[in-house]
Structure 1
């Protein structure tokens, strides 16, 4: 672990920040281990004899740089005072897993002579110093050392940043600066919004809260979602939740007391700089080697990549050959893969299979990977997450109202709330179970104690009774026992004699058999026969000796049996013996009853314990009294050890229940930690605190053709390898016309090229073909639409694999064009709108003739139950269509959701797409329609029917050569495979259908 100890020469003096006491009081109730007071903080810091682990947070445009100091249980954010004499204690937060990982990555060990605390800034002693310079220099040396040694995130060793890579990162930094300047210009120039009154939405004026309602002087309102602040109060930043009439509701970043807000003043728009701050942090991460995989930088800057290893992985669902190639390479690549997917070629399906395979265990991949699914648009993220298997733990990080309904159950907040509910329910059950066990176990243990004591006493009584019986029995049968002992002694002697004779007989018999076996041998046979006769004689002699011994032994055994019988008769009939035996048997039965009672108590105690403990001690039953009581005492000791543990577990269940009830958000990091797949927008992946410190093995960026290099660096700095999926023939981050307009004051051609191109384009043009996979089979559009798209935008490489039966009542082909050129000029020509109506102050253009036609067509398809959308190039034209369409539909919400610009619907699709070119003028002016990728995006949204409206006299005479050529190509194609009709003809058909509907 990289670590630098900083021995400071002066004490560090802390000053509590605003509302710190309230914060400590509130949080200490929720989090165990948090300090309850300022004195606790001071004590804990001074107890860190070796120093306090810390790191420097560089901050951003919203927050100042700070020193984040860690104790054993919590972390403290310290912000230097303006004069650099000490630190404000900005916040105190519990330690999380991410904090431990962050410190393990690199940290300072801050070691002042001691820590001090004063209550006000003016009380800081003279000569005090925050010694920020020393700390910042130490932190800089640490970062430099890590970069020089080539140590990246997670300890990976990487090469140092080359001059070309550094130049690339510097260029991205300039791109971020230029983009911020351009995109926030309007907001920075907006005039303030005067207000004459402020009211707390909760009605409470004494309690700090986050939401207030501002009553404005005039009708001019800041747009919903805009970031504002109260003029003159830099820290009062918030976001407009609602703007209606002359009222604006603002949610502030931090709770604000009502008396702190002026009753009269102004709200001024303050541009959100979070995006640019995160982009700059990503650049810095690559520059300092702190990106998750700094080896991605050579691929981004210099297009240097290693080979893609072969893979035999197979998807769950069937993929076409190109999709399967993308799937296998995505799982095998160690750096980058670019997947080019024109509309309808199954990008989402391919991404889903890649994500599922990476996040699960399979042959050759024993460990699952954590996958980040991201895009610039929420819709693209949701499309992938909605298709993922529910076997995976999938979490969506985002704002609820921007997330599709199908994916809302995956939202981190909803899963956190659900998990909190489960934990609270589980802890309630456990708390009740532990309480009941604790309440019941004590009495049963007491009963077991009493039963064991009784068993001890009864065992002693049984032993005494048994001893009395033995003494009485011995006394009353003594003569008979003496006689029995004498007889048994004599019988033992006879048995020994018999055994000796039997052994002699066996030895002689063995010699006899040997002699008989050799009696017929030549030469010595006579000798063996002689031996046999002698052995036979001795054997008969031994047998004769054995007979009287056996007779005497039999007599002795009969007499022993008679004496035993006499002893038994005496024990059974002698009054004293009978009384002693009965007393012994009674004692044994009583002791066995006590043992039964003890075992019953033990069984109940263990049963109670087993209700809350998975493996309770077993009750071992023994018959021998001493062993049984010893076993019961051992069980009693084990139960006694469990009783305080149950009490602590009950208290812990209560603590968990209460902590989760107060702060369910603390569960979010744990949910993220165990997630297989996390989905978020590119900026959301870096701006959400729950994802701080989370490492991703694989990052998949969808719709990467719409993502600038600076935006792409944000998620790429968090992943070990990246897959960029998209279409470089659709809309880029900034159109060429936009870049040309902005670039007049930039004067840097390389920067303009970087601005106008996407991350996908940069990698596609530079990476070797082994790292680029082109999908070519589209299954969205009918062939009449798909073939034109292929020829016009994809050099004929896009092939259609879709069966389509055309059954549209209005048009003879899935590709139809309604020409307005035969209408009078005053009807068909466009109208200029307000300059501010379009993005970046471009003049708005609308066309009433086309707006009415598109509205009538939309209403027609709506009545037929088709899924439809209207796409227009200008926001002013969208407003014109909506004004015509809302009365026809009678549903303003549906109209608003179904009419939009090309940018709004990129990535979407519908059965019927209605597109209007809008431009109609005698000069062939088409404005930013010259960006042909807009046409590609609009046309490729259609699944069944594409209807285009426009003035062919303008389009075919367009001043822009590229657009003019495309218009001619479309006109020729319509004559072959499309339906080219006029405005009058279509309006007539619509009137006929409308009349038929009214009659029916």
Structure 2
């Protein structure tokens, strides 16, 4: 830890803020070891030779100083006159406080620490000196152990920064130039801080845009959904606001998304300053060094198919590719990529990776491009792992909302309250008046001991009275008693000797090795002596009883003896009375004090134990009641504890930088799912937080979204390399130069039927995508299909159960060609960015109705939003939730039993627009679990001006003709009509 010691020539004066007394009182109540008054805080500071101090991190309050005490942190604000510091608040030390302190601090050594209501005139904060020394220390921290980026690394970092800043600047320009959206009403929703705004006019923002309520700079949020038909939008505000406090008419203004930009910038700053948990991250991203080979020391039981003892989950369900990917990921020292086409089990591998890592004591940060991907993994993790979901509630799948921090805190609070309530109930089990029983027991046992003493004294007085009047009778009784006592003592010693002789394993006898005859003689003598002693004792007992009778006869009528006998009887009655009282109080006392611990059985020992246990019970009861009340009101403290003990934290890549409670929390592993859809700038937000990272995705699906204007400006201002960072994912950029040891491939897909998968394998995955062979009756092993004959076959662990197809189509793959329609009927219309095709829309809507009638799960996906809107309008009479209608881009990551895909483009020139991005076709085709039905004008598609797309369309038509159904659109209409008839 770097430090700079400052010897200050004057005392530092502290003045309490108005709320400090209450803050310290609550602090001391919750944390008894921390200072409860400003005077105790002053004493703590005075007892130290030097006090650590830091300044807030960039972006926080700059005019403040943080002092670190024994378990606490005080925030000081310099007075405007620079004579003293006001103590604003005191908090327990948190993770981020320890982390910041460990990186470096100032050590303040004033001549004294003084608390005053008003600083004296000569006092000084030495603020300028402190800030100057802190700036020097920050420079030392930034350079310590950090090698400045070389030329290639620095250039890569500069290009990233320029691309991020240019995109943000463009957003700001658009927001400033955009006309506001006027609204005429605000309606509450079921979610907190989420409201529906009823708009004027027909202009609408896009989903995910950030809007601000006009005249209310602090009231801003993100658009969740837009209902164009009802002219409404739903806005999730950044913070909860009562409906009554919202203006019911006004404007919604576009603003730039400063949160995303700030998180990207923070990550880039950490990368530049060398403050990332992985010091090799920048060189790996820039391609100047490769990730270190995996250590190979992580749990190998995952590869042997054994059960993880923590999670009790059998990893033998993984196929050979998944096993290898899991091993590579577990062994990574820097960064590993897992590349898997659709349906190959990427989510399964991520789940096992998180399970195994968390089970071995590592803290895992799980991120993805979409909320759905995060939730899919988190909901599969075992309940014995503490899993947290970070993000806005409305974005989280209902099945994962119980993992949200607020929900977890509520559950934890209720669990604590239930347990505390049970303990408190046990500590008050005797009822409201139960506390009187210990006092009753104390009094009864005390009175019993007094009565026993009186009884002993009375019996002694009785013996003395008898002795004084009995004469020879008493002397005879005394002699008999002495003889009886001696005989009993001798008999005891002889019995002990006999026991030792009888014990054949006695070590002493074995050591002496005495012969058997000697042992037998000694045993006989001892047994004979016992017989003699028993007879003597019996005789002495008879003589004693005779002597006692004679003594009683001689003294019975003597007045002094008679008086003492009455005293003995009176004392005995008192003993009996108080013994019953003590025994009566003993039972409820034992029940009352049972929670304290095991109590002695003896009455007197129990009474003495009760004197300690009862105050302890009362103290515990007080603590439990106070704890119950505190837990009921606790929020932030429970949140902090949950974060502290979480095994897995899940968030989207941009959301992984918040909330504030996660600041400073260190992770051992970060997993970035959907890495093929995330730019490097967005991926850095989670990547800088852990020393090890695993990227998971498919770079042959759709890349990150980047609008043309952003790409054009970045290209124009900073060149093609910077523009590439906005359109290519981190996975696509890295996979070119990562060594084989840092990349694992998943090959076996179990989503699509073979007819669909074989084409996707050849068209998009170089023939490397394998599909399980259909079951062979009588065989227990079914080889996977492999398009590459040199690749070894594997045994599938699960064979998809493809259903019997309905009569409409005989195969899982069907292609409906609209080129049989007149050109004017099948032609597209609309502007270049908003194409529609009515003929295709009618066919897709008819197919969707047929799927609905057959009770099949379906989705219609098309390239253009306008086409999706047209189909949605054609099917508006279907019940909500019947099926899905979406664009290809928005449906990436989804899957359905039946996928209905329309190409939309139909024109004599062969123009296909952005369909020339073949990854869009890959996404569309690989969404189907049972059947893929394609609708398009293959006269246009197979004559496309783009060569890549033209080859794809021709290969698709040939493949469908071989293994599927190639159907003219009129034939489909006939089939649908026959079905309806």
**Which whole-Å CA distance do the structure 1 matches of 2:902 and 2:202 have between them?**
33
Residue matched to 2:980: 994
Partner of residue 271 from structure 1, selected from 256, 274, 291 = 256
**Which whole-Å CA distance do the structure 1 matches of 2:276 and 2:13 have between them?**
34
Deviations 1:870-891 (A, max 9, x none): 111111111111111213x2x3
Q: Name structure 2 gaps, 5 residues minimum.
A: 306-313, 486-534, 775-801
Q: Does the residue aligned with 1:719 lie in a helix, a strand or coil? A: coil
Residue matched to 2:620: 646
**Which whole-Å CA distance do the structure 1 matches of 2:885 and 2:127 have between them?**
55
Offset of 1:200 from its aligned partner?
11
**Is the contact made by 1:431 and 1:654 (CA closer than 8 Å) also made in structure 2?**
no
Offset of 1:582 from its aligned partner?
6.3
Offset of 1:51 from its aligned partner?
5.0
Q: In terms of mean alpha carbon deviation, does 580-589 or 722-731 score higher? A: 580-589
Q: Does the residue aligned with 2:277 lie in a helix, a strand or coil? A: coil
Q: Does the residue aligned with 2:736 lie in a helix, a strand or coil? A: helix
Residue matched to 2:926: 940
Q: What are the equivalent positions in structure 2 for 1:506-517 lying under 5 Å apart?
A: none
**1:191 lines up with 2:179 in the alignment:** yes
Offset of 1:581 from its aligned partner?
5.2
**1:618 lines up with 2:599 in the alignment:** yes
Partner of residue 735 from structure 2, selected from 739, 750, 764 = 764
Distance 1:874 1:13, change over 3 A: farther
Residue matched to 2:507: none
Q: What are the equivalent positions in structure 2 for 1:541-580 lying under 5 Å apart?
A: 565-566=546-547, 568-571=549-552, 574-575=555-556, 576=558, 577=561, 580=564
Residue matched to 1:968: 954
Residue matched to 1:584: 568
Offset of 1:869 from its aligned partner?
0.8
Offset of 1:904 from its aligned partner?
1.2
**Which whole-Å CA distance do the structure 1 matches of 2:609 and 2:949 have between them?**
91
Offset of 1:989 from its aligned partner?
1.3
Residue matched to 1:335: 334
Offset of 1:397 from its aligned partner?
2.0
**Is the contact made by 1:238 and 1:251 (CA closer than 8 Å) also made in structure 2?**
yes
**1:604 lines up with 2:588 in the alignment:** yes
**Which whole-Å CA distance do the structure 1 matches of 2:301 and 2:484 have between them?**
89
**1:304 lines up with 2:290 in the alignment:** yes
Offset of 1:289 from its aligned partner?
3.3
Q: Does the residue aligned with 1:696 lie in a helix, a strand or coil? A: coil
Q: Does the residue aligned with 1:778 lie in a helix, a strand or coil? A: coil
**Which whole-Å CA distance do the structure 2 matches of 1:465 and 1:292 have between them?**
85
Q: What are the equivalent positions in structure 2 for 1:889-904 lying under 5 Å apart?
A: 889=878, 891-892=879-880, 894=882, 898-904=884-890
Deviations 1:228-248 (A, max 9, x none): 335566545455678787888
Offset of 1:765 from its aligned partner?
1.7
**Is the contact made by 1:56 and 1:139 (CA closer than 8 Å) also made in structure 2?**
no
Deviations 1:924-983 (A, max 9, x none): 211111111111011000111111111112211211111112122212222222222111
Residue matched to 2:163: 175
**1:683 lines up with 2:654 in the alignment:** yes
**Which whole-Å CA distance do the structure 1 matches of 2:383 and 2:773 have between them?**
29
Distance 1:655 1:279, change over 3 A: same
Deviations 1:30-50 (A, max 9, x none): 877699xxxx99888867556
**1:885 lines up with 2:875 in the alignment:** yes
**Which whole-Å CA distance do the structure 2 matches of 1:916 and 1:925 have between them?**
15
Distance 1:6 1:871, change over 3 A: farther
Offset of 1:918 from its aligned partner?
1.1
Residue matched to 2:810: 812
Partner of residue 268 from structure 2, selected from 262, 283, 292 = 283
Q: What are the equivalent positions in structure 2 for 1:666-745 lying under 5 Å apart?
A: 666-734=637-705, 741-745=712-716
Offset of 1:174 from its aligned partner?
2.0
**1:634 lines up with 2:599 in the alignment:** no
**Which whole-Å CA distance do the structure 2 matches of 1:639 and 1:262 have between them?**
62
Distance 1:303 1:926, change over 3 A: farther
**Which whole-Å CA distance do the structure 1 matches of 2:978 and 2:24 have between them?**
74
Distance 1:217 1:172, change over 3 A: same
Distance 1:564 1:274, change over 3 A: closer
Deviations 1:848-878 (A, max 9, x none): 2211211111111111111111111111111
Distance 1:235 1:407, change over 3 A: closer
| Paired residue total | 872
Partner of residue 797 from structure 1, selected from 768, 776, 781 = 768
Partner of residue 374 from structure 1, selected from 342, 367, 370 = 367
Q: Name structure 1 gaps, 5 residues minimum.
A: 151-157, 203-208, 361-366, 493-553, 623-627, 834-841, 996-1000
**Which whole-Å CA distance do the structure 2 matches of 1:578 and 1:801 have between them?**
109
**Which whole-Å CA distance do the structure 2 matches of 1:185 and 1:487 have between them?**
120
**Is the contact made by 2:350 and 2:377 (CA closer than 8 Å) also made in structure 1?**
yes
Q: Does the residue aligned with 1:866 lie in a helix, a strand or coil? A: coil
**1:145 lines up with 2:144 in the alignment:** no
**Which whole-Å CA distance do the structure 2 matches of 1:397 and 1:817 have between them?**
43
Q: In terms of mean alpha carbon deviation, does 216-225 or 446-455 score higher? A: 216-225
Distance 1:806 1:848, change over 3 A: same
Residue matched to 1:398: 391
Distance 1:64 1:460, change over 3 A: closer
**Is the contact made by 2:84 and 2:123 (CA closer than 8 Å) also made in structure 1?**
no
Q: In terms of mean alpha carbon deviation, does 564-573 or 982-991 score higher? A: 564-573
Offset of 1:606 from its aligned partner?
3.4
Offset of 1:828 from its aligned partner?
1.6
Partner of residue 923 from structure 1, selected from 905, 909, 928 = 909
Residue matched to 2:939: 953
Higher alpha-carbon Rg: 1
**Is the contact made by 1:359 and 1:677 (CA closer than 8 Å) also made in structure 2?**
yes
Distance 1:281 1:34, change over 3 A: farther
**1:55 lines up with 2:55 in the alignment:** yes
**Is the contact made by 2:270 and 2:276 (CA closer than 8 Å) also made in structure 1?**
yes
Partner of residue 829 from structure 2, selected from 828, 831, 839 = 831
Residue matched to 1:854: 844
Offset of 1:420 from its aligned partner?
2.6
Distance 1:131 1:593, change over 3 A: same
**Which whole-Å CA distance do the structure 1 matches of 2:124 and 2:219 have between them?**
29
Q: Does the residue aligned with 2:932 lie in a helix, a strand or coil? A: strand
Q: Does the residue aligned with 1:886 lie in a helix, a strand or coil? A: coil
**Which whole-Å CA distance do the structure 2 matches of 1:88 and 1:190 have between them?**
46
Residue matched to 1:452: 445
Offset of 1:777 from its aligned partner?
1.0
RMSD: 4.6
Offset of 1:126 from its aligned partner?
12
Q: In terms of mean alpha carbon deviation, does 568-577 or 450-459 score higher? A: 568-577
**1:293 lines up with 2:273 in the alignment:** no
Q: What are the equivalent positions in structure 2 for 1:122-137 lying under 5 Å apart?
A: 137=132
Distance 1:129 1:464, change over 3 A: closer
TM-score w.r.t. structure 2 length?
A: 0.78
Offset of 1:106 from its aligned partner?
3.5
Residue matched to 2:354: 355
**Is the contact made by 2:364 and 2:648 (CA closer than 8 Å) also made in structure 1?**
yes
TM-score w.r.t. structure 1 length?
A: 0.76
**Is the contact made by 1:74 and 1:92 (CA closer than 8 Å) also made in structure 2?**
no
**Is the contact made by 2:430 and 2:588 (CA closer than 8 Å) also made in structure 1?**
no
Distance 1:370 1:872, change over 3 A: same
